[in-house]
Amino acid sequence: MARQRTKDSLAEFQRRLLEWFHVNRRDLPWRRTRDAYRVWISEIMLQQTRAAAVLPYYRRFLRAFPRLRALARAREERVLKAWSGLGYYSRARNLLRAARIIQSRHGSRFPRSVGEALALPGVGAYTARAVLSIAYGEPLAVLDGNVARVIARREAIEGDLSAPARWKELQALADRWLDAGSPGDWNQAMMELGATVCTPRQPRCGACPVREGCKALRLGLADRLPERRAKSAPVRVRVAAAVLLDGVGRTLLVRSPAKATAQNESRPEGLGPIFSRLWHFPAVVSTADSRTDLERHLSAELLLDGAARWQAISAIRHAITFRDVTIEPWLIHVEELASGAGKIVALEAAGRMAISSASRKIAAAALARLGGE
């Protein structure tokens, strides 16, 4: 009898949520398709970025690479350019690597099995489940931050949700609640509820289609769950950057060798995460006077002599994940740029290249400095 009641209430919960989703879902372009390639691109873009911010990038990326084959044969530089502005460039690099694997091993179709999907670079449990359920109707429940919050509140689960044992418990509940008849819609409905109603702060319980049976609401805990983790203090990094400028307004961009950067990537205070292994202005982590540090760096790396004219540019603040970066850029007028040391481009054009947002800020600050002369 009790089991029947639980079954009935689960069916009612599923019915209400799906009904609500069909009426209230945001009209997003990736929801108008079941094409696995497009669903995959959207899921990768949405990993660290809000849906509204993803929209223009999603359209631009698919204009450039409308099919998986077009992506698989593209040069990395072009893919990074199409990704430019979204940040976390390792996502774009993994997309390209995965597209090539899908082309060569899976006949250019995103694989249907979880094991094969998980073997692709950049595809974790969440992405594999999302793509397979939405594109192929596989009965797999997703668990991301939004879904975890909804489950934690409905079940009044306390503690740190990201702890491995708790996450496993949440995944088990997500699996149990899944509407296997329409897994793609179900997963999107759960995420939509978390993104628009059961929001991190001030959940709109009055407008919630599944408030009945919600334990957090009943216990007056909706605002307090999930418990917030204490944030650790950000890592502070100071970077000295050189905008070298020749007589015709050209500048020099460099790219760290992949090996050196891979080491940097793992160091929170390194340059790798700040410039995303993309073309960037010559720079060095500064521990003392930024000009002295930069002079030493430029003379060792680019054989820059002492004849250049230096102008300070106002410092730039740049937050990236847990880092609080202060960039101290210098405009350095030189006779000639060292060809062979990197890429020589017009400073005005640098901001339109595939560069990180930190580099874009440096370019903009340098142009503003020049404009104010």
By CB under 6 A, name the one of 79, 217, 313, 327 that touches ligand SF4.
Answer: 217
Triad 182, 187, 188: Cα angle to 5°: 105
Beta carbon nearer to ligand SF4, 222 or 237: 222
In the three-class reduction of DSSP (H, G, I as helix; E, B as strand; rest coil), residue 335 is classed as coil
Q: Find residue 280's DSSP bridge partners.
A: 254
Write down the catalytic residue from 12, 19, 43, 155: 43
Beta carbon nearer to ligand SF4, 215 or 360: 215
Stretch that binds ligand SF4, among 41-49, 181-189, 204-212, 245-253 (CB under 6 A): 204-212
By CB under 6 A, name the one of 80, 198, 294, 355 that touches ligand SF4.
Answer: 198
Q: Looking at 29-110, which runs of residues are DSSP E strands?
A: none
Asked if 203 is part of the footprint of ligand SF4 (rule: CB under 6 A), the reply reads: yes
Q: Are 297 and 284 in contact (CB under 8 A)?
A: yes
> Which among 232, 324, 323, 242 has a CA at the least distance from the CA of 283?
242
By CB under 6 A, name the one of 99, 147, 222, 271 that touches ligand SF4.
Answer: 222
Asked if 197 is part of the footprint of ligand SF4 (rule: CB under 6 A), the reply reads: yes
The binding track of 138-177 with respect to ligand SF4, each residue x by CB under 6 A or -, is ------------x--xx-----------------------
Q: What CA–CA distance (Å, rounded) separates 334 from 336?
A: 5
Annotation marks residue 43 as catalytic: yes
Smallest distance, Å, CB 227 to ligand SF4?
14
Give the distance, in angstroms, between the CA of residue 109 and the centroid of all CA atoms in the same chain. Answer: 24
By CB under 6 A, name the one of 214, 243, 332, 363 that touches ligand SF4.
Answer: 214
Smallest distance, Å, CB 198 to ligand SF4?
3
Instruction: Say if residue 206 is exposed, middle or buried (CB neighbours under 10 Å; 0-12, 13-18, 19+).
Output: exposed
Asked if 208 is part of the footprint of ligand SF4 (rule: CB under 6 A), the reply reads: yes
H or E segment to which residue 371 belongs: helix 357-371
The pair of structure tokens assigned to 258 is 């992949």
Residue type, 165: A
What DSSP state is assigned to residue 254?
A: B
What DSSP state is assigned to residue 222?
A: T
Smallest distance, Å, CB 210 to ligand SF4?
6
Beta carbon nearer to ligand SF4, 216 or 320: 216
User: Among all residues, which ones are annotated catalytic?
Assistant: 43
State the residues that interact with ligand SF4 by CB under 6 A: 150, 153-154, 197-198, 203, 205, 208, 210-211, 214, 216-217, 222
